[in-house]
Amino acid sequence: MDTKNGLINFSLFVFVFIFAFVFSIDALASPNTFYGVLALVGFLVSLGASLFNGILSRRDGEALALWYFVYAVIVGIITVWYLTRCGTAFGWW
């Protein structure tokens, strides 16, 4: 994977994360389960795809691998935050 394709993938993951975050805020503000599921799928796709691309970039020795891993950590933190908010909203804990 060359750098240009890596940057396009990275910007695509950022856009998916932005949409997932907006859906998560809307799902938590109003009882809209469909938006909540879309947000969870968006977070999981962003997390999984960034880890996958980060591993491929690190194998090829690209400097963009660090950015993919940092992005995966940020998405992971936001995903845990979202899941704890959903657990609180549903009364699981």
pTM of the model: 0.86
Give residue-wise pLDDT tens across range 7-63.
888 889 999 999 999 999 999 898 888 999 999 999 999 999 999 999 988 998 888
pLDDT confidence of residue 57 = 87
Q: What angle do CA 14, 87, 23 make, to 5 degrees?
A: 30
Determine the Cα–Cα distance for residues 75 and 86; give it in Å rounded to an integer. 16
φ and ψ of 75, to 5 deg: -65, -35
